[in-house]
Structures are given as structure tokens and as C-alpha cells.
Structure 1
Amino acid sequence: MKSAVENLNPTRVRLTVEVPFEELKDSLDAAYKKINQQVTVKGFRKGKIPARVIDQRFGRGAVLEEAVNDALPKFYTQAVNEADVNPLGQPEVDITELKDGELLAFTAEVDVRPTVEIPDYSGIEVEVDAVEVTDEDVEKSVEQLRERFASTSPVERAAEDGDVVTIDLQAKVEGEVLEDGVAEGVSYTIGSGELLDGIDDAVKGLEADGEATFTSELKGGSAAGKEAEVTVKVTQVAARELPALDDDFAQMASQFDTLDELKADSRTRLENMKQYDQATQAQERVLDELLKLVEVPIPEKLLEDEVNTRKHNLEHHQLGQMGLDLAKYLEIQGKTEEEFDAETKEAAIKGIKTQFILDELVATEKLNVNQDELTEHLMRRAASSGMSPDQFAKAVVEGGQVPMLVGEVARGKALALVVEAATVKDTNGEVVDLSDEDEEEIAEEVVAAAEGEGETEEKTEA
């Protein structure tokens, strides 16, 4: 076999391949065998039809087509290896010549991973928010805990802000009661904003057995997005009573004996959360600066596929679960379709650049992933997917996705390496020490967010 490679642009090549006909022998034999199993010819047992009879009855062309289809992947892979290129996605193959008994010639155009030059990144400097926990932050945290331990008791008065009302609902669209528009015994806290727009004004001032009608746009169900006439009947009004903020509350709501100990613990937890957020912010901003340093040509077909994948996942998975379509989502976001398309394309470009650059860093820095690191990453991914580790591991192995997970861990390690070399200061001008945080774990999350949760990986592995 002879092959040659032509660079069409920095991200696409054309392979020209010539295969002597004798190298098709195995595929021709396989083609005759396959056709033998599929057809019957009077006078011959199934599977025992001579090749010359198959040629006469079904045509030599059918055999050649089957043989070429069988052989092309093998010869294409051989040409890719000889040319030392990294293909992305599937090639566009064109058979340019097929002479029976003489020659098979074809071309294959395919996107390839571009050459990426990593410059010195040790000079990267970023600024992040300072870790500051105020007394107000602590009081708010304790108040939220206090809300969780609130009790309710029925009252014989009109409903007010903060009350818990038990209500029955009926929704009509164009005068017809919706099949899924009736609910009874719903518990609702006035002012929580957890139900329909307009319901707070409708129920405030009503006593038990009071009724009101209002108009609201439905957020979900069979008529999501439509205006509905909603009738609400209050069956009970209950006042919420908050426990006193004292040592007794601390003992009831936590493992601490005093309110001061509970507040001290709240302050520590808030500091830990803000430190984690600060580390995440540092990783994100360092990644953004790294992306600015490196020029990366983006394969057009890969970008198109990535944009389409992101749009499909949003429309058919995320929005579908919320009962929304893309038009309604854009209306809520206050965006035009053109703005949405531009943002999606920008995010896709960032995801592709992130993967190319960090993969190059993995190679140049010779970063490896050991079994413990892979197992820890698998456990985290399983938790985020809602599956047990065993279920997730089985799905990964059966789907051939182990290399994808290894790539995620390796790119996280690459980003953590860049962050270690960078200078990170907070808004007070103090140098931030991130050594106490799990840099690689946070980096994996930042990389996954930039790449769109691994969507690019699935298309670029080839």
C-alpha cells in the first residue's frame, strides 16, 4: 500500500491511498463468504456456492463493493498511522479508482488535532475574592438553620406574609379545566415564591374557606407557558413560630451545647466554603489566562458538532426536564436566538481549546494517571450522576469510556500544574496559598465545566 498526506489547512488533511489488488484478497474471501450465507442458488447447498456462480448470478460488482467496504477501515487506519496524524471524528472517503484485479485508490479527508505550542505560563497572575466571613454572614447562616426548625400552628385570622397556608388549586386555560391542573391540600409558605406568580397577592387577606381567582403563566405541565385562570381556596392558615436563639436551640439543632459554639462552627464552615470557592475561582481565572496565551486553530467540523451537541443537550435534556422549550428559555433569559447561538459557539470554542491545550500539557509534562486517582474520579462522577460507583463503573467499561475518564483526570492535573506556577492574589493584595485545597479535584471540575462535561472528548477520541 502507498499513501501520501496533504495539509489542506492547520486542522484538516487529505490522505491519498493506493492499494494493490492482491491486498484485498482477505476482504474478497470474506465478501464471498458473507454473500454465500445470505443467498440461495438452486443446485447448491447454502454456503457452498462457488465464487464464479456468485459472480454470474449476482455480479462481480456486488462482491467488490462488499470487499471494499470491509477493507477501507483497515487501509485508512494504516494510512493514518503512516502519516502520523491525529484524526478527529470520521473521515470523508472518496473512492477514486477501482480496477478489478489491479488497484484500489481512494482519498480520505479528515479533521486533525492541530499542533499546539505551549508558551511559558509561569508569569500568569490572577486576582480572586478575599475570604472574609462577617458577623452578618454568620447570623444569616444561623437564621437559615432556625427557619428549618420552625413550627406551625393553625390560626383563625387572615393569611399574612410568612404564614403557611393549605390550599386547593384549579387551573383553567381557555375556559377548560386542565387534567393536570387540579391539586388539593398543597402546603405553601406565603412569600417563598415556590408556586405561581401572583399567588401571594391572591391568598394574602384570605381566611380559612376563603377563595380567590388570579391569572398566571403556568411554569410546567401540559400547558406550560400558557396563561391560566387559577382558582385558589385556602383551607387552613397556620402561623410559623421560630425557636428562640439560645443554648436550648443550639442543643436541639446541632451537636453543640451553646449558641456561641454553634455560631463558631457556622463561621468555620462558611470560611471553608469561601476558601473552596476562592480556589475554584483561581482555577477558572488561571485557565482563562492560559487560553489567552495560546493560539489554537479550531477544526470547523468539530466546532459545528460541538455546538449542535450543546444545543441538543440543552433542548432535549435540561429544558425538557423543566417543561420548557428553547423559545421559552430564551424569553426567560431575555436573549435573542442570535445571542444564544453566539454564546453557545463561544463556549464550544473555549471547551475545544481547553482540551487541546491541556492535552498538550499532559504530553509535554509527561503526566500520568494512577489507579487510585482514576478510582477517586470515578467515585465523584458516580455521585454526580446519581448512580452507585459499581453501576457507573460498569457503564463506563461497557461504553468504552475509560480513556475518557483518564483524560479528564490528566487534564485536571495539567491545570493544577499551571495554577501552581501562577501567582494568585486576593482583592486585599495578599498572595493566596492554595496548597490546603484539593487542587486537582477542583481543577477536574473546572475543566469539565469548560468542556461542557466531556462532550468534546467523545467526539475527539479517534
Structure 2
Amino acid sequence: MKSAVETLSPTRAKLTVEVPFEELKPSLDAAYKKIAQQINVPGFRRGKVPPMVIDRQVGRGAVLDEAINEVLPAKYIEALEANDLQPLAQPEIEVTKFEDNETLEFTAEVDVRPEIALPSYEGLEAEVEDLVVADSDVEEQVQALRERFATLSDVERPAAEGDFVVLDLKALKDGEVLDGAEVSAMSYQVGRGGMIEGLDEALVGMSAGDEKTFSSELVGGDLVGEPVEVQVSISQVQEQELPELDDDFAQLASEFDTIDELTADVRERLGRGKRLEQAAAARDAVLEVLLDRVDVPLPESMVTDELNARRQNIEQQLGYAGITMEKYLEDEGQTIEEFEADLERRVRDAVAAQFLLDEVAKKEELSIEQQELSSHLVRRAQQSGQDPQEFANHMFEHNHIPELVQEILRGKALAAIVETAVVKDASGNVVELKNLRPDGTIGEPEAATEAPSEAETEE
């Protein structure tokens, strides 16, 4: 077999492959055997029909087509390996020349992994925002803790924002109550939002026993965005009573003896979370600096597929939340053109980062252990809310394990780059990344390995 490669673009190649007829003989024999099992010819047992009889009954052309269909995938892979090409998608194959007892010639156009000239990535410099735990952040967390231990008491007055009410609600369209749009005796905090547009405004000023009707739009279901009439009545108005912010509360809500100790712990925990967020921003910043130093050609088909997948995922998530794309764009203050431009930019950066990190992993000769793969499978299962064993079975059955392995290798490649980088915050302080633990605390630097003594070396 002979093959030649033509570079159509940095990410697309065209293979021209010539296969001598004698190399088709095993596939031709297999085609005769397969067809012999499929036809009935008087005087011959099934599977024992001679080739010449098959040629008369079925036609030599059908046998040749069967042989070609079998041999093409194998010869295509052989040509890829011979020319050191790494395909990224299914090829477009065309048989350009073939006659009986003559050489088979075909072409295959396919997107291929681009060649990347890796720049030096040691000691990259990047900047992130300062790590700040604001007093308001601490107060918000403490307030949430107080609300967990709050009590509710009935009051004989109209509902105000922040009060709790026990309500009945139903949405009607053309006078008919819609399926799934009716609730009874539900406790709801006025001003919380997230239920139906106009509800909070309607509840303010209502007293126990009052009923009100207002117009709104559905935020979920098949009729999302449809105008409806909403009837709401309340049976109770309850005032939330928060515990005093003192040492007694600290002992009730935590293992601490004083409110100062509790508040300090809240600040520390927030700081650890902020430190992890800063570390994630640092990784992104370092990768962005590296991407700016190298030109990564991108296969347009791969970019298009990823764009479509992300759009579908966003629309699906919005659907689950009962939000239309128009409403989402309005809340974000974006036009559809701005949204699409931002999405494409992020997709192109993500695809380029994949290729770049794959090259780093290859250069660093990174590998993974079975335990790393198992842990990654469990994390991915937890993120998707699935049973780890069922998730693992699905990954193996659908041959997605190589993708997971590549994810792990890319993560290790990025970690290797970040470890040598110098990242500073906006105030000029070096951000500690190498000794950062998964819980956001800073560990002790690993002790340097001492050189063995002369006696140890001799031993």
C-alpha cells in the first residue's frame, strides 16, 4: 500500500491511498464467505456456494463492493499511522479509482490535530485580584446562621417584606386552573422572589384571610411566558424573630463559647473559600498568559460542534430554571449578538487550551494511576448527581474513558505549569499555590530531599 498526505490547512489533511489488488484478496475471500452464508442456491449447502456461482447469481460487483467496504477502514487507519496523523473527527472518504483486478485508490479528508510549537512555560507571570473578606460577607453568613435558629410567631397585621405567610395560590388561563400551577398551605417569605413575577408585590399589605388576583406570566412548563391570572390567599402572617447575637447564640449554633470566636471562624472559613477561588482564577490567568504566547490553529468543525453543544446545554439549564433566553439576556444586559460573540470566544479559548495542554502533557511524559482515574470518575458522578458505579459503567460501555484520562492529564499539565509560575495579587503579594490544600488552607512546604552521604552512596 502507498499513501501520500496533502496539507489542506493546519488542521485538515487529505490522504491519497493506493491499495494493490493482491492486498484486497483476504477481504475478497471474506466477502465471498459472507455472501455464501446469505444466499440459497439449489444444489449447494448454505455457506458452500463457490465464488464463480456467486458471481453468476449475485454479481462480481456486489462482491467487490463488500470487499472494499471491509478493507477501507483498515487501510485508512494504516495510512494515518504511516503519516503520523491524529484525526479529530470522522473522515470524508471517496473511492476515486477502482476496477476489477486493478489498484484501488481512495482519498480521505479529515480534521487532524494541529502541530503546536510550544513556547517556554516556566516562570510565567500573571496577576489576580486581591483576596478580600469583607465585613459584609461575614455579616451575611452570620445572619444566615441566625435565620436557621429563628422562630416564627403569628401577628395580627398586614404582611411586610421579610415576613412569612402561609398561602394558597393557583394560576388560571381562560378561567381554567393550569396543571401543576396550584399550591396549598405553603410557607413563603415575602420578598424572597424566585416563584412567580408579581407575587411579592401582591403579598405586601395583605392580612390573614385576604385574597388577591394579579396578572403574571408562567416561568416554567409548556406554557412558559404565557400571560395568566394568579389568585393568592393567605391564612397566616408570621413575623421572624432572630436570636440575639451574643455568646448564648454562639454556644447554641456552634462549638464556640463566644460570639467573637464564632465570627472569627466564619471569617476564616470565608477566607479559605476565597483562597480557593483566587487559586482557580490564578490557574485561568496563567493559562491565558500562555495562550497569548502561542498560535493554536483550530478546526472549525470542532469549534462549531462545541458551540452547538454549549448552546444546547445553556438552553436546557434555562429551561430547568423556567427562564427564557430573552429573559436571561435581559437580566444579563446582553444582546443576542453579544452573547454569541462571548460564547464563541470562550469556546475557542477552551479548544485551544485543550490542544495546548495535551502538548504539555506529552512533553512532560505525564501519566495517571488507576486510583486517579477512579477518583475522577467519582467526582464526575457527584457533579452530575449520578451513582458512581452507574456512571462508571456508562463511561466504559460508551468508550468515554479515554476522554476522562485526557481530562486528568490536562489538569496535571496545567498544575505543572502553574507550579512554576509567579502569580501576584493586585497589591503585589505573591499568591501561594504550590502548598495550597483542597480545603483552602496553606500547608507546610515539602522538605527538600537531602543528598545522600558518601557512606550511604557506597552502601
Tell me if both proteins adopt one fold, taking TM over 0.5 as the criterion.
Answer: yes
The secondary structure found in structure 2 opposite 1:118 is coil
In the alignment, which residue of structure 2 is the partner of 1:157?
157
Identical-residue share of aligned pairs (%):
52
User: Quick one: which amino acid aligns to residue 425 of structure 2?
Assistant: D
Change (3 A) 1:248 1:342: same
In the alignment, which residue of structure 1 is the partner of 2:307?
307
In the alignment, which residue of structure 2 is the partner of 1:359?
358
In the alignment, which residue of structure 1 is the partner of 2:375?
376
| TM-score normalised to structure 2 length | 0.90
Q: Could you tell me how far apart the structure 2 residues matched to 1:330 and 1:217 are?
A: 17
Q: Which one is further off, 411-420 or 371-380?
A: 371-380
The 8 Å contact of residues 225 and 328 in structure 1, kept in 2 or not, is answered as no
User: Quick one: which amino acid aligns to residue 11 of structure 1?
Assistant: T
Change (3 A) 1:334 1:56: farther
Q: Could you tell me how far apart the structure 2 residues matched to 1:35 and 1:329 are?
A: 58
The secondary structure found in structure 1 opposite 2:392 is helix
Deviation at 1:275, TM superposition (A): 0.8
User: Quick one: which amino acid aligns to residue 374 of structure 2?
Assistant: T
Is 1:397 the counterpart of 2:396? The answer is: yes
Measured against aligned partners, the alpha-carbon deviations of 1:394-416 in whole angstroms (never above 9, x if no partner) come to 22222222222221111111111
Change (3 A) 1:117 1:58: same
The 8 Å contact of residues 180 and 222 in structure 1, kept in 2 or not, is answered as no
The secondary structure found in structure 2 opposite 1:89 is coil
In the alignment, which residue of structure 2 is the partner of 1:419?
418
The secondary structure found in structure 1 opposite 2:292 is helix
The secondary structure found in structure 2 opposite 1:216 is strand
Q: CA RMSD in A?
A: 2.1
In the alignment, which residue of structure 2 is the partner of 1:190?
190
Q: Could you tell me how far apart the structure 1 residues matched to 2:116 and 2:429 are?
A: 34
| TM-score normalised to structure 1 length | 0.89
Deviation at 1:295, TM superposition (A): 0.3
User: Quick one: which amino acid aligns to residue 308 of structure 1?
Assistant: N
Q: Which one is further off, 298-307 or 286-295?
A: 298-307
User: Quick one: which amino acid aligns to residue 124 of structure 2?
Assistant: I
Q: Which one is further off, 84-93 or 380-389?
A: 380-389
Measured against aligned partners, the alpha-carbon deviations of 1:79-134 in whole angstroms (never above 9, x if no partner) come to 00111111111111010111112221101111111110111233532222222334
Deviation at 1:328, TM superposition (A): 5.2
In the alignment, which residue of structure 2 is the partner of 1:448?
none
Q: Could you tell me how far apart the structure 2 residues matched to 1:341 and 1:362 are?
A: 31
User: Quick one: which amino acid aligns to residue 360 of structure 2?
Assistant: L
Q: Could you tell me how far apart the structure 2 residues matched to 1:170 and 1:402 are?
A: 48
User: Quick one: which amino acid aligns to residue 357 of structure 1?
Assistant: L
In the alignment, which residue of structure 1 is the partner of 2:267?
267
User: Quick one: which amino acid aligns to residue 433 of structure 1?
Assistant: E
Deviation at 1:326, TM superposition (A): 4.5
Q: Could you tell me how far apart the structure 1 residues matched to 2:317 and 2:47 are?
A: 52
Q: Could you tell me how far apart the structure 1 residues matched to 2:331 and 2:232 are?
A: 25
Change (3 A) 1:211 1:288: same
Q: Could you tell me how far apart the structure 2 residues matched to 1:81 and 1:157 are?
A: 80
Q: Could you tell me how far apart the structure 1 residues matched to 2:324 and 2:195 are?
A: 20
Measured against aligned partners, the alpha-carbon deviations of 1:365-407 in whole angstroms (never above 9, x if no partner) come to 2222223333332232222122233333222222222222221
The 8 Å contact of residues 208 and 236 in structure 1, kept in 2 or not, is answered as yes
Is 1:54 the counterpart of 2:54? The answer is: yes
Q: How does 1:267-286 map to 2 (within 5 A)?
A: 267-286=267-286
Q: Could you tell me how far apart the structure 1 residues matched to 2:346 and 2:34 are?
A: 47
Change (3 A) 1:136 1:324: closer
User: Quick one: which amino acid aligns to residue 374 of structure 1?
Assistant: L
Change (3 A) 1:4 1:323: same
The secondary structure found in structure 2 opposite 1:99 is coil
User: Quick one: which amino acid aligns to residue 392 of structure 2?
Assistant: A
